[in-house]
């Protein structure tokens, strides 16, 4: 009989090969990648379509650069183009090629739109027209435009007691994405462990396997194999998604995001091993796939509630006490703590405490779940009651 490490490795390799080669794994991976590609494409198209197309004719062509600069400072992108005359410009407005047509003198231009005008572009045009009018008045009175520079540069600069993080929007988006991907992956592959246990139990394959290896070796090997398959899928999705987003310009990758993404892989492993052990123990209580949902629901439902409540509280009010406490409870830590790290609100001591509590919970649940699994996995037929499995486990 091979040694313990070799036995676990053989089981893990079998599970990994089986999962990676399965149609469900390939289809789900391709489907998620396609959905990400579609999302990135739509995001990119929407980003381009959000820019305002302005046509300039006559003397107004001289304000093209100033108009783009002014609207960009106000958070709006403008695309300018030259138009031959008013008739041509109005035709382009009606066909949708232009959103705004500006023609005539710089100090009193004529502005034409199809129906309504973007308020940001209107404000920028008004500012430019006022500047042109002021410069005209100064020129008529023999004054240089620079005499008003000091007055124009006067502005109110508020002092913020809690300055807003300029990357807060990207942090929030990353928190949502990381939290959801981890939650989905841990739940999906954790349930796969339970389904595999029931499948082997109902087909009596487990009886053949346990004739040569110990129950805990089979359990550990199964959890490791399926966990690596899940990690592989997460990495593929992350690499493809980030590649598509960056190449299309739909996403910039700040420095903080790199650390958040790498740490998320570690949180995935911790969360998966915790839930996979519990779900494997739950799956060993039944012999049919039809009965599986009833025994795994208590294991999967509580994290769902914690994830939904905790994530929403965390994003709406980052320093909320409830979300902080929930992120330190092992059942919720692997999906909530990475989000708090992405938001930049998790101090080092809380991250370390979360890891230690997770490791302690994994050790506890692995010991208890392994005993339940060993006692129940060979009992076919009627569903094994948890009380009976625990009683027998305690008696071992």
Query: DSSP class of residue 75?
Result: T
3-state secondary structure of 236: helix
Q: State how far the Cα of 285 lies from the Cα of 118, in Å rounded to an integer.
A: 63
| Contact present, 198 and 384 (Cβ < 8 Å) | no
Burial grade of 78 (CB within 10 A; 0-12, 13-18, 19 or more):
buried
Predicted confidence (pLDDT) per residue in 44-86, tens digit: 666 555 678 888 887 777 777 887 887 777 767 778 888 888 8
Could you give the domains of the chain?
Answer: 52-150 (3.40.190.10), 168-395 (no CATH)
- The residues with which 42 forms a beta bridge, in sequence order, are none
* Number of Cβ atoms within 10 Å of the Cβ of 279: 28
More confident residue, 25 or 241: 25
Does the global pTM surpass 0.85? no
Residue 195 CA to residue 291 CA, distance in Å, equals 11
Q: Higher model confidence: residue 351 or residue 242?
A: 351
pLDDT in tens, 89-138: 888 888 888 888 888 777 677 888 888 787 877 888 887 777 777 776 76
What is d(CA 208, CA 211) in angstroms, rounded to the nearest whole number? 5
The region that residue 254 occupies, defined by phi over 0 for left and psi between -120 and 50 for alpha, beta otherwise, is beta
Contact 186, 233 (CB under 8 A): no
Q: What is the mean pLDDT of the chain?
A: 79
């Amino acid at each position: 009989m091979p040694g313990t490490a070799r036995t676990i490795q053989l089981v893990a390799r079998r599970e990994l090969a089986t999962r990676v080669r399965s149609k469900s794994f390939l289809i789900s991976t391709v489907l998620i990648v396609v959905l990400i590609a579609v999302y990135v494409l739509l995001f990119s198209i929407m980003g381009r379509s959000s820019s305002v197309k302005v046509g300039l004719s006559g003397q107004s062509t001289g304000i093209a650069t100033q108009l783009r600069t002014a609207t960009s400072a106000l958070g709006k992108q403008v695309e300018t183009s030259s138009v031959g005359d008013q008739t041509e410009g109005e035709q382009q407005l009606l066909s949708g090629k232009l959103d705004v047509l500006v023609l005539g003198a710089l100090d009193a231009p004529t502005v034409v739109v199809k129906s309504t005008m973007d308020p940001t572009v209107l404000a920028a045009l008004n500012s430019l027209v006022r500047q042109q009018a002021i410069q005209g008045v100064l020129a008529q009175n023999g004054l240089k435009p620079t005499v008003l520079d000091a007055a124009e540069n006067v502005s109110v600069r508020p002092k913020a007691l809690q300055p807003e993080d300029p990357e807060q929007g990207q942090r929030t988006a990353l928190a949502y994405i990381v939290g959801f991907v981890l939650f989905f992956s841990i739940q999906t592959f954790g349930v796969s462990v339970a389904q595999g246990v029931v499948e082997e139990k109902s087909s009596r394959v487990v009886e053949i396997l346990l004739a040569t290896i110990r129950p805990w070796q089979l359990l550990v090997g199964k959890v490791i194999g399926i966990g690596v398959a899940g990690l592989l899928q997460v990495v593929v999705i992350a690499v493809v998604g980030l590649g598509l987003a960056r190449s299309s310009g739909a996403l910039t990758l700040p420095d903080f995001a790199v650390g958040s993404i790498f740490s998320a892989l570690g949180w995935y492993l911790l969360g998966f091993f915790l839930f996979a052990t519990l779900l494997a123990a739950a799956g060993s209580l039944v012999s049919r796939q039809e009965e599986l949902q009833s025994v795994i629901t208590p294991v999967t439902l509580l994290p769902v509630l914690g994830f939904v409540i905790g994530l929403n509280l965390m994003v709406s009010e980052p320093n909320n006490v409830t979300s902080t406490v929930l992120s330190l409870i092992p059942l919720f830590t692997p999906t909530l703590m990475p989000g708090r790290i992405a938001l930049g609100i998790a101090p080092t001591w809380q991250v370390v405490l979360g890891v230690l509590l997770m490791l302690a919970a994994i050790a506890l649940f692995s010991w208890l779940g392994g005993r339940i699994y060993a006692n129940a996995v060979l009992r076919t037929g009627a569903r094994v009651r948890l009380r009976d499995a625990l009683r027998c486990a305690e008696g071992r």
